[in-house]
Structure 1
Amino acid sequence: MFKGLKPILYGGREVWPLVEGGKGVSATNHMSSGAWAAAGGIGTVSAVNADSFDAEGRIIPQVYQSLTRKERHEELIQYGIDGAVAQVERAYEIANGNGAININVLWEMGGAQPILHGVLERTRGKVAGVTCGAGMPYKLSEIAASYGVYYLPIISSGRAFRALWKRAYSKAAEWLGAVVYEDPWLAGGHNGLSNAEDPRVPQDPYPRVAELRAVMREGGISDDLPIVMAGGVWRLDEWDNWINNSELGSIMFQFGTRPLLTQESPIPPGWKARLMTLEEGDILLHRFSPTGFYSSAVLNPFLRNLEGRSERQIAFTKEHVGDHAFALDVGIGTRKNYWVTKGDLQHAREWHGAGYTEAIKTPDDTLIFVTPEEQKQIRKDQADCMGCLSQCAFSSWAENEKNSTGRLADSRSFCIQKTLQDIAHGGPTEENLMFAGHSAFRFKSDPFYSNGFVPTVKQLVDRILTGA
């Protein structure tokens, strides 16, 4: 029988130990996070390129006017601050004094530090904590502490937390609100898989979280400080042995996927409808993201196109070397200094004959073959870059003196800002990146959603509290 949860103290008030996952570009906003807090949990406003509003309450399109990437990057930072502030203020009003409001940022997003400073400065007293992952956010504790808010690092191993604690977090221990363990195989969005871990062999989260707690104890951190289990959490009765478990200490649970399918969820109707049709195996753990991280998304035509782009790939040399004894004669215009193997020459000719007539060089001394239309779109997307990441493989943007990674732009990837903005604001679900956790297929079989039922956030939270 399900033990049930008890409220905990967070931000000076009692809340349910239930956290709404803060999902990227506009997939959580003031409506969903405010409602989650109103239901007594911890709502999480996504502070990643969040929407802001005009005087009539309409979303302000994020259109970039500047000619240079660096200037567009400054526009992006201002959009980011204004949008997150607007979302926090609205969420705080909806919560009406209940629960708590966190914000979520990605450490590897463009302008992460100035955006975080700008948002926390303008929302004093309204934000309880900052969750942050996608990288090693060493300065997170310093920034959060300077505004008197909690910080909740998102990590995927005890080893990662140990590094953060020793280098920075131990100096601001009193503001550590919780540690979020995000399962790198099951969570949606970007995943924290290390090079030592096999993406095809998921590991049981229990021993990994037990190890994390052991690392926290090494640092003198009380068992009362919660670990938030995130990724793969669907119903709490499946996690019953984690509750009141002395080996794990205090545990909270984060729900990222289930809140997508609520009345208050801001994602468009087409996205919600697609969630109800997913089958097990429809979520792909892939490495096409321009961040360089693994990420999990619905395996739709958008991702299949990226798979195809990488499959139409051959290695080359600039000189006649070994098996690279055949001059490439398709896809390269008048250039004749690409040498390939006999088999790859045959592949290239077949792709050329199928309409993939343009060859694009990659940073790894390979060529990918695409259609002329696709090449044109790739080049435009790369030229339109506004620096939404600290460094981007797709466009070669980086937040450094030269604003460049120093590597060739990688056309095997894509503009993540463009596709996430498009799908969040009504663009076609089959032609955009659709992030989702690996449990999303359960919408179809869970009786709670039978006959197309879409709950309110309050109904969902009440359901979760029963264990189901």
Structure 2
Amino acid sequence: MRAINAIRMGGVDVLPLVEGGKGVSISNGLSAGNWALAGGVGTFSAVNADSFDVNGRAIPQVYHGRTRRERHEELVSYAIQGALTQARRAWEVTGGKGRIHANILWEMGAAERIITEVLEQAKGLIHGITCGAGMPYRLSDIAARFNVYYYPIISSARAFNALWKRAYSKTAELLGGVVYEDPWLAGGHNGLSNGEDPLRPEDPLPRVMALRKVMRDFGLHETPIIMAGGVWCLEEWESWIDNPDLGPVAFQFGTRPLLTQESPIGNAWKQRLLTLKEGDVFLNRFSPTGFYSSAVSNGFLAELRERSERQVAFTTETIGEHVAEYGVGPRKRIVYLTYADRERALAWERQGFTDALRTPDSTLIFVTPEKAREILEDQTACMGCLSSCRFSNWAQHEPDYTNGKKADPRSFCIQKTLQDIAHESDEPAAVERNLMFSGHNAYRFGKDPFYSSGFIPTVKQLMERLLTGR
């Protein structure tokens, strides 16, 4: 195995080992601080991070506003205070000597406003901003305002080309690196384009080579590319290290830091990671963002799959084969199905799925009365955690603060489930009933001898392991 030497990134020499930022409250100041203390780049999530009371207990993010806009303002306040708390916590762990990045999602609600306020109040504590989940054109402007480095997360050379030409060329000196995130293997939200097949993964090397070519065309010969998604051990990437065709390369680890002593996830979640099998991580499109995402296949995802499978198209007047009357809702308003779909609907009713909910695509999904109440309550309780949400139809743009479409009951409240699993994952039931993001390599926890007999390392022990190449 080649020696893992420091590289120049963000104006300093660091080990080319970057902690992937995982929200909500999964990459925090403790994990990031310890990663940085070991010589790499620590990353805390600034997506609705935890803040604490005087006794050190996480403050529940409870919303009291009567309107979505009022609750959105509460969310923004929670987000700013939580990110500041984690930035200060990371600084305390490192004694101000480590390299700390804050991770944000461009499509999170009020992203620009939140990170701007955090950087204003945390001067000197945060050295870089990583940002994905969208096309963050204004990321460089924010970085320039506070003289911090920025690290866009992209999944193709084409995406970076667009970002550079529109915005980043004006602030090239603060571009600390470009994160290439494999859209098939990374955990969380994935950057698959409409022209890419989710079932046909592509080799990352040609895609990263294409990215480096574009970067060299722009004079970015020494700007590191940070490989993210599918990275487990460096001996599998040995041909990338010190490769003159690739130029400076670092590696981002998102999944492996989940299973450390400093990781804030609960014990039931950690134990579930140790039992995963290949294929247990599911690439799906249920997210209210509209992006693909990768998560552990559990009861939560099974219910969403089944919900969408119990689905039929309808019309509001007789058209073609849609001539079979069917009553929807308490008032049994008549819509028209095909005769075959009406038989399917009646069969689902006999199984207890008696509530038909309309989707924006002129279809009906069939759920139990209890699930229907939960869906409607979650939609009503929306606090605008995304810039645009297909589940609740929220959008942060004035004047009406909607995306102009009907709320989609095939999706879910992402804020609710991520907060629940972040804070209740000591309980096995919470791990089963919530969205559990993960990279596709998570099954390797159960195969890697490093984790034999249920061993859970400290961050320092994990970093030492990574530096061996294994």
Distance, in Å, in 2 between the alignment partners of 1:89 and 1:365 is 49
Deviation per residue, 1:48-68 (Å, 9 max, x gap): 000011222221111111111
Residue 192 of structure 2 corresponds to which residue in structure 1? 193
Q: Which amino acid aligns with 2:374?
A: Q
Residue 324 of structure 1 corresponds to which residue in structure 2? 322
Residue 397 of structure 1 corresponds to which residue in structure 2? 394
Q: Which piece of structure 1 moves more, 80-89 or 11-20?
A: 11-20
Deviation per residue, 1:306-365 (Å, 9 max, x gap): 000000000001111111111114x53433431111110010000000000000000000
Q: Which amino acid aligns with 1:426?
A: E
Residue 40 of structure 2 corresponds to which residue in structure 1? 41
Answer yes or no: is the 8 Å Cα contact 1:24–1:48 preserved in 2. yes
Q: CA deviation at 1:214?
A: 0.6
Q: CA deviation at 1:180?
A: 0.1
Distance, in Å, in 2 between the alignment partners of 1:162 and 1:9 is 23
2:356 counterpart of 1:356: no
Answer yes or no: is the 8 Å Cα contact 2:354–2:367 preserved in 1. yes
Deviation per residue, 1:267-297 (Å, 9 max, x gap): 0111001000000000000000000000000
Distance, in Å, in 1 between the alignment partners of 2:106 and 2:63 is 22
Distance, in Å, in 1 between the alignment partners of 2:169 and 2:210 is 18
Q: Which amino acid aligns with 1:342?
A: Y
Residue 423 of structure 1 corresponds to which residue in structure 2? 421
SS in 2 for 1:180: strand
Distance, in Å, in 1 between the alignment partners of 2:82 and 2:142 is 19
Distance, in Å, in 2 between the alignment partners of 1:336 and 1:400 is 33
2:175 counterpart of 1:176: yes
- C-alpha root-mean-square deviation of aligned residues, in Å? 0.9
SS in 1 for 2:450: helix
Unpaired runs of at least 5, structure 2? none
Q: CA deviation at 1:12?
A: 4.2
Unpaired runs of at least 5, structure 1? none
- 2:385 aligned to which of 379, 383, 388: 388
Q: State how many pairs are aligned.
A: 465
Residue 55 of structure 2 corresponds to which residue in structure 1? 56
Residue 209 of structure 2 corresponds to which residue in structure 1? 210
SS in 1 for 2:424: coil
Deviation per residue, 1:380-416 (Å, 9 max, x gap): 0001100000000000000111110010000000000
Q: How does 1:132-151 map to 2 (within 5 A)?
A: 132-151=131-150
Distance, in Å, in 2 between the alignment partners of 1:299 and 1:343 is 31
Q: Which amino acid aligns with 2:231?
A: V
Q: How does 1:102-113 map to 2 (within 5 A)?
A: 102-113=101-112
Q: CA deviation at 1:13?
A: 3.4
Q: Which amino acid aligns with 2:42?
A: G
Answer yes or no: is the 8 Å Cα contact 1:38–1:97 preserved in 2. no
Residue 466 of structure 1 corresponds to which residue in structure 2? 468
Q: Which amino acid aligns with 1:451?
A: S
Q: CA deviation at 1:97?
A: 3.9
Give aligned-pair identity as a percent.
62
Distance, in Å, in 2 between the alignment partners of 1:140 and 1:286 is 28
Deviation per residue, 1:21-58 (Å, 9 max, x gap): 00010111011101000101000010000001122222
Distance, in Å, in 2 between the alignment partners of 1:452 and 1:356 is 41
Q: How does 1:50-449 map to 2 (within 5 A)?
A: 50-222=49-221, 224-329=222-327, 331-401=328-398, 402-427=400-425, 428-449=430-451
Distance, in Å, in 1 between the alignment partners of 2:67 and 2:388 is 16
Distance, in Å, in 1 between the alignment partners of 2:255 and 2:73 is 32
Distance, in Å, in 2 between the alignment partners of 1:118 and 1:393 is 27
Answer yes or no: is the 8 Å Cα contact 1:236–1:464 preserved in 2. yes
Answer yes or no: is the 8 Å Cα contact 2:9–2:223 preserved in 1. no
Provide the TM-score with structure 2 as the length reference: 0.98
Q: CA deviation at 1:126?
A: 1.2
Distance, in Å, in 2 between the alignment partners of 1:168 and 1:388 is 26
SS in 1 for 2:114: helix
Deviation per residue, 1:231-273 (Å, 9 max, x gap): 0000000000001111111000000000000000000111001
Q: Which piece of structure 1 moves more, 96-105 or 309-318?
A: 96-105
Answer yes or no: is the 8 Å Cα contact 2:7–2:248 preserved in 1. no
- Shift in alpha-carbon separation, 1:413–1:263, aligned structure 2, 3 A: same
Distance, in Å, in 2 between the alignment partners of 1:74 and 1:144 is 24
Answer yes or no: is the 8 Å Cα contact 1:298–1:436 preserved in 2. yes
Provide the TM-score with structure 1 as the length reference: 0.98
SS in 2 for 1:184: coil
Q: Which amino acid aligns with 1:60?
A: I
Answer yes or no: is the 8 Å Cα contact 2:87–2:126 preserved in 1. yes
Q: Which amino acid aligns with 2:385?
A: C
Distance, in Å, in 2 between the alignment partners of 1:194 and 1:336 is 39
Distance, in Å, in 2 between the alignment partners of 1:413 and 1:345 is 24
Deviation per residue, 1:86-139 (Å, 9 max, x gap): 100010110124430000000000010110101101111111100000000000
- 2:452 aligned to which of 450, 453, 457: 450
Q: CA deviation at 1:11?
A: 4.1
Answer yes or no: is the 8 Å Cα contact 1:39–1:98 preserved in 2. no
Distance, in Å, in 2 between the alignment partners of 1:246 and 1:425 is 45
Q: Which amino acid aligns with 2:313?
A: A
SS in 2 for 1:320: coil
